[in-house]
Amino acid sequence: MKIADKVVVVTGAASGIGKELCLRFAREGARAVVCSDIDADGTQATADEIAASGATSKTLVNICNVANEQDVIALVAAATAEFGQIDLFCSNAGIFTPGTETVSNDDWTRIWDINVMAHIYAARAVLPAMLERGEGYLLNTASAAGLLSQVGSAPYAVTKHAAVGFAEWLSITYGHSGIKVSVLCPQAVRTAMTAQGGGVAALDGMLEPSQLADTVIETLDAERFLVLPHPEVLTYMRRKTDDYDRWLGGMRRLNDRFAENYRKRTDSDE
């Protein structure tokens, strides 16, 4: 997919990856960029920055809690009413919750709703019109943790695996109906989520959001499923599937190495 002249919706648009994607899509000549987030001021700031950049893209600001299906339905309806259709929906919003299986039920539910159900709500809302047209693109943000694992966070590892699994299912089920699907799986990117250093994910370096956006544009252009800003992740995936037990042993060693850092992070969040 070429972004030029397309209508793009981005959730989590107030900061980090989402903000950078909005700015980059505008620079690529999108007809319209719908900036959506629960943070009203941050979302407006992203739209204002697009306008100030001189980009010709129209913008729409939408305040949306992606954990609430009615908000997602309203987002899709507003974007469609304003611009006629949605060509690319970037389900990008996500959160990190450190901890083990003992994380509270409320926290498990919250991260599940944002990291998994938000993708499902988006697909429910946007797919009918895309399927009717016979074309459309879904870009779901997961994480390298969804392909590998996440030392120090059971909720993040589990929800990101589920996000990747849902994206795979969408591609398998609707790929012959004109629907393209990609899943974004970075390691550490310099955002508020990684402000404390990125932990294990930063072993291969901390990318700037602009570097990630480069990979997104390249992958969308090629219409490949996996968006891997850190190419090392593909090597790790191959090692994992080649010898699962050996890979688990290596991950245990990583876990031991970073366990104390994650304990300190968990304590500081309480």
Average pLDDT of the residues of the chain: 92
CB-CB neighbours of 187 under 10 Å: 25
pLDDT of residue 127: 98
Q: Residue 189: CA atoms inside 13 Å, Cβ hemisphere, count?
A: 28
Spatial CA neighbour of 40 closest among 18, 58, 19, 63: 63
The ranges of the chain with pLDDT < 70 are 191-205, 260-270
Which sign, positive or negative, has the C-alpha torsion 36, 41, 44, 46?
negative
Amino acid 268: pLDDT: 45
Helix (H, G, I), strand (E, B) or coil at 141: strand
Count, residues in the chain: 270
116 touches 162 (CB < 8 A): yes
Catalytic positions are 156
Walk me through the domains of the chain, giving residue ranges and CATH numbers. Answer: 7-269 (3.40.50.720)
What pLDDT is attached to residue 207? 83
pLDDT for 269 equals 40
**pLDDT for 270:** 36
